[in-house]
Amino acid sequence: MSRQPTSSASPSASLSRDRVEALARKYRRLVDLRGRRDGDGPAATRAELRALAAEFPGALRELDTLGAAELRRRADACAAAVAGGAVEPWMAWIDRFHALMRQALQARARGAGTDPATDSFERAVLAPPDGRMMPVVLGAVAAAFGEPPDRVAATLFPSRRPRP
């Protein structure tokens, strides 16, 4: 049985209100942590960071790579969606990203794919190209929504440096 995500015609159709609320909470937390990191309060504790990463695997990458303005934009967009506004495609993508990253980390923790239930996604994260599982996870997100992997990656984790 494959746990690989399936395609969805409408990104918002696969994102429940509870998931949008969870994303809104995550981005509020990231805005707070980013502000503290940038000098507006005490540094985040290891326990705070671990709790965030446990609930939203990969969120610390957002904290590290996204600026305060982008985190605020995402927090505002999620809050608007919770209030009845549009659920933007990237919201479904990042929600799927967190779910797949959790699955990937669990597969890695179990070790070699000796479990007969190990699916192709888990096999790929156990032996990823160049030893990096992030492209595998982003590729699975892209495939789930019928989007090019480069677009998904650039949307979810835009580079703050100008590209050549």
Residue 18's pLDDT is what?
Answer: 95
- Minimal CA–CA distance to 143: which of 124, 115, 158? 124
Residue 78 near residue 70, CB atoms below 8 Å: no
Residue 116's pLDDT is what?
Answer: 62
- Minimal CA–CA distance to 30: which of 86, 85, 68, 82? 68
For the chain, give the mean pLDDT: 86
How many CB atoms lie under 10 A from the CB of residue 50? 12
Q: What percent of the chain has pLDDT over 70?
A: 84
Tell me the pLDDT tens digit for each residue of 112-148: 656 666 688 998 999 898 899 999 999 999 999 999 9
7 pLDDT band, cuts 50/70/90, is: very low
Residue 100 near residue 122, CB atoms below 8 Å: no
**What is the domain partition of the chain in residue ranges?**
15-87, 88-164
Residue 149's pLDDT is what?
Answer: 94
Residue 8 near residue 147, CB atoms below 8 Å: no
DSSP 24-85: HHHHHHHHHHHHIIIIISSPPPHHHHHHHHHHSTTHHHHHHHS-HHHHHHHHHHHHHHHTT-
Tokens of 75: 């927090």
- Mean pLDDT, residues 71-92 taken together: 96
Per-residue pLDDT for 21 more than 70? Answer: yes
40 pLDDT band, cuts 50/70/90, is: confident
